[in-house]
Structure 1
């Protein structure tokens, strides 16, 4: 019953729905009590041969009338109570989705996608059943038992009623014994479902890699193993759950045996009539559903309680990225000043910071290039600029305002970001490009595509800008995905454009064209380019060379070449590699 207390906030918010629904449920149970009394009196008149046509019509009409009333009342409570349960599912689903949208990167590192999907599907369905079937079975069972017992006492005999319901407390003892075991079993079942959901999501998302590496059979074996584990856990749930039905059957059988023996003796001693015994038997039959209903009730409640705890545990987690809701609402613009004394990832080694002693100033309209070895700190710096992590000492300012002092809407909308691997939605090319502002027209979309050197590629697609790109852009090449993502970032004309190795999949000529366009189009706005290819940053106003989270070299392309350090070494290596590729390409052509 603890789950009802946890959901009381919702019942209070929607008390009208539930009050009206329970009122009609109450009327349904009252109507249900009348028919057995009419049947008993009808039986007595048949036995005593005093039944008249008028009485026959009265009893038959009465039974029909109350059956019709039960139909109307039942329709009314079903529409109200199940409407409330649907509203609960909608409310929790919205809360959960909003929570997912607000959480930080660390949250998604701790929780797998399949697990989060299980919370939003299976767990919410279990909670929703509490507010529909749970309410129904609780009120229906309790009201039917109370009204039936009262009717037995009034219509039949209090002694027979007392002895007939004497076995019912055994059900309470059985429920108290099985409930904790059921709660534990349901929790394990929900966790197993989460693991299976995550495995399914991971295998479907990685099906290309699985097939490429020839691991289909191995992956299927792992999946089958998890399915078997889930089945075993659910078998335990079914085992415990199945004990409620037989227990209720045994208890009701005992009650019927008592009724037959003791009730029969009362009829033989003329203390009750045969009609009263028939009424008592009918009333006792009405108790069969509540007995089974109570078993199903605890099934629903324990499953819902386990799911509610899991959902609340997720909702209780707090993001480490806190928005200043009363912060600056004007769009961030101006010079970018970065002063980071030290930053360590939440799960990192404090003695080995990811960034330290980083000081950079980028004036509005300038381009900053960032290079360095893999893991040197390039992407880490970008994550701090995007406010994916805030736990650093120092500050980052745009227009002399700390980025933490902006509202999310004001700051993040001033940034256009393109990663090396970009997520594309299963919609058209047009809607993917204008995703950040769906109100942009076709002219704006095409202009952004032209800046990204993507317009001609689009017209070569089957339906042009109406072409569906498929899940995660499966119908596009790597270079096309990157250029689409660049167009998506450029369509809002951001104050700060960040390209994180976003040109790695395009050829040198396309790269040169895109960078040239950005330089001419963004004269008054800041551009940050992090790359492995020196050609991507060589025309930047300043180039930063990272190594182990520190700035080891900085300057223009010419000054860094003259310094003859890591930057110059990498530039010469890449130049040699390019020349070798050109020679091999030329040799291949001549041979043909």
Structure 2
């Protein structure tokens, strides 16, 4: 019952709907008491030979009126109670989605996508059922069951009613025990479903890789194992669930036996009439639903309770990025890094150490280094995907970035990540993601700057081409350039390209960088790269290794130092030269043929 206490905030909000819905259930219960009384009186009238056509017509009219009113009342309780539970589902989905949107990357590193999806679907549906069908079950069980028992005792025989109720305590004990088993089993079943959901999402997203490595059979076997686990755990839940109805029917059967046995003796003793006994057994038949509803209620409550606990665990998870920042003004000025030490959550090794440099407003800064040197870590810290230990580790305009409102801060950045993400919609909508109302001329200009405009025009549907999930129909270079266009269209104060030119050739890279240099004059650009050619024209180049800065300066200055940058630049230049010569040789052979 704890789940109803937890949902009390919603019941208070929807109290009018629930109260009127329960009132409709009371009226339905009262209407359902009428037919057995009519049947008993008709039987007694037949036994006494006093039934007339007029009396029969009155009885039939009463039954018709009761049926019509029952129909009307049932319609309204469904609208009121189930309507309220649907609104609960809507509220919880919106709250959960807002929670997802606010959480930091560390949250998504720990949580599986399939699990989060299961919370937003199956778990919310179970809670919604508890607030809808659960309320119906307990209210209808108590109202109808109570009304029937009172009517049996008052209008027929309190003694026979007590006799019929003897088996009921056994049912209460058993259904309570089943409920506890059901709660534990349902938690395990939901966890198994989450794992299957996560596997399905992962397999579909990585289908190209799976096919490339010929891993389909193993992937299918893994899926089958998880699917079998879901089936087994749900079968255990179903077996427990299946105990409710037989137990209740056994109790009802025992009540029937006691009622008929002792009721017949009371008829012989002239304590009740035969018509009253028929009415009593009819009422006893009406007790089947309230008792089944009681079992159903325990079932729903245990499922809803398990699901609400899972949802609450997510809702109570604290965001490790503080968002109650007080500075609403737009950041402006130079960006300064003064990081002594930073390591990612649950990672004991230093991710960043002794990083100190400034990015002047309007400057272009390149950050280079081998894989894992800390380039992207700096970008993620600047975007406040993670926070450093000290507030003044990163300053923007002389103010710690964590003092700015986080939305205001991020609005200053146009970010193109390493793992470019495109939505399952048209190219036009992907580029204009930040402002869908933009004119085509603005979209075309951004596409031209990122050197993707001509490619798009060659597609069958041009800018209306649907790219598929995550841009599955495009090449890596095309996805990168569309992502760059999406960032450029925002005209951000600071543009960040986090190794975002890795999938394009050197010629295209140079063209994009030249376009950006002209279009973004006076604005800040940060480029992380593995290819030195991407940053050679930068105002400042930062060379990182093992999470720290090992070299800094302009291209010419670093070439004079003859350190890591010098060696890497020359090695890449030699490789590019050999590649060009090889391409020229191949083209020459093709012409000779």
Instruction: Please confirm whether the aligned pair reaches a TM-score higher than 0.5, indicating the same fold.
Output: yes
Q: Is the counterpart of residue 334 in structure 1 residue 333 in structure 2?
A: yes
How far apart are the structure 2 equivalents of 1:508 and 1:373?
A: 19
The Cα of 1:2 is off from its aligned counterpart by 2.0
Contact 2:244 2:295 survives alignment (8 Å) = yes
* Counterpart residue number, 1:578: 576
* Counterpart residue number, 2:411: 413
* Counterpart residue number, 2:283: 283
CA RMSD of aligned residues (A): 1.0
The Cα of 1:179 is off from its aligned counterpart by 1.8
Q: How does 1:171-182 map to 2 (within 5 A)?
A: 171-182=171-182
* Counterpart residue number, 1:395: 393
Q: Is the counterpart of residue 159 in structure 1 residue 159 in structure 2?
A: yes
How far apart are the structure 2 equivalents of 1:416 and 1:163?
A: 78
Q: How does 1:90-239 map to 2 (within 5 A)?
A: 90-239=90-239
* Counterpart residue number, 1:489: 487
The Cα of 1:395 is off from its aligned counterpart by 2.1
* Counterpart residue number, 1:367: 364
SS at match of 1:91: helix
* Counterpart residue number, 1:519: 517
Of residues 382, 385, 388, the one that matches 1:385 is 382
1:276-299 CA distance string (max 9 Å, x none): 001101100000111111111111
How far apart are the structure 2 equivalents of 1:536 and 1:391?
A: 29
Q: Is the counterpart of residue 404 in structure 1 residue 402 in structure 2?
A: yes
TM-score, scaled to structure 1:
0.98
Q: Is the counterpart of residue 240 in structure 1 residue 240 in structure 2?
A: yes
The Cα of 1:509 is off from its aligned counterpart by 1.3
The Cα of 1:421 is off from its aligned counterpart by 2.2
Q: Is the counterpart of residue 502 in structure 1 residue 496 in structure 2?
A: no
TM-score, scaled to structure 2:
0.98
SS at match of 1:358: strand
SS at match of 1:397: strand
SS at match of 2:542: strand
* Counterpart residue number, 1:422: 420
The Cα of 1:439 is off from its aligned counterpart by 2.4
- Against the structure 1 CA distance between its residues 166 and 236, is the aligned structure 2 distance closer, same or farther, given a 3 Å change threshold? same
How far apart are the structure 2 equivalents of 1:426 and 1:230?
A: 30
1:415-447 CA distance string (max 9 Å, x none): 001122211001111110111122222121111
Contact 1:25 1:73 survives alignment (8 Å) = yes
How far apart are the structure 2 equivalents of 1:438 and 1:588?
A: 45
The Cα of 1:463 is off from its aligned counterpart by 1.3
The Cα of 1:233 is off from its aligned counterpart by 1.0
How far apart are the structure 1 equivalents of 2:118 and 2:177?
A: 29
The Cα of 1:211 is off from its aligned counterpart by 0.9
1:3-43 CA distance string (max 9 Å, x none): 21111111011111111111111111111112211111111
Q: How does 1:531-550 map to 2 (within 5 A)?
A: 531-550=529-548
* Counterpart residue number, 1:87: 87
Contact 1:344 1:392 survives alignment (8 Å) = no
The Cα of 1:143 is off from its aligned counterpart by 0.9
How far apart are the structure 1 equivalents of 2:344 and 2:262?
A: 77
Contact 1:182 1:299 survives alignment (8 Å) = yes
Contact 1:338 1:358 survives alignment (8 Å) = yes
Moved more, 387-396 or 58-67: 387-396
How far apart are the structure 2 equivalents of 1:523 and 1:143?
A: 76
* Counterpart residue number, 1:36: 36
Contact 2:329 2:408 survives alignment (8 Å) = yes
SS at match of 2:536: coil
* Structure 2: runs of 5 or more not aligned: none
SS at match of 1:357: strand
SS at match of 1:421: coil
SS at match of 2:228: helix
Contact 2:418 2:500 survives alignment (8 Å) = yes
How far apart are the structure 2 equivalents of 1:177 and 1:417?
A: 56
SS at match of 1:392: coil
* Structure 1: runs of 5 or more not aligned: none
Number of aligned positions between the proteins: 589
How far apart are the structure 2 equivalents of 1:409 and 1:232?
A: 46
Contact 1:37 1:155 survives alignment (8 Å) = no
Q: Is the counterpart of residue 354 in structure 1 residue 348 in structure 2?
A: no
Of residues 434, 437, 441, the one that matches 2:435 is 437
The Cα of 1:402 is off from its aligned counterpart by 1.7
How far apart are the structure 2 equivalents of 1:251 and 1:391?
A: 64
* Counterpart residue number, 2:322: 322
How far apart are the structure 1 equivalents of 2:509 and 2:423?
A: 24
How far apart are the structure 2 equivalents of 1:323 and 1:252?
A: 58
Contact 1:332 1:495 survives alignment (8 Å) = no
Contact 2:559 2:565 survives alignment (8 Å) = yes
How far apart are the structure 2 equivalents of 1:454 and 1:591?
A: 31
How far apart are the structure 2 equivalents of 1:468 and 1:478?
A: 16
* Counterpart residue number, 1:464: 462
How far apart are the structure 2 equivalents of 1:331 and 1:453?
A: 31
How far apart are the structure 2 equivalents of 1:395 and 1:421?
A: 26
SS at match of 2:338: strand
How far apart are the structure 1 equivalents of 2:503 and 2:497?
A: 13
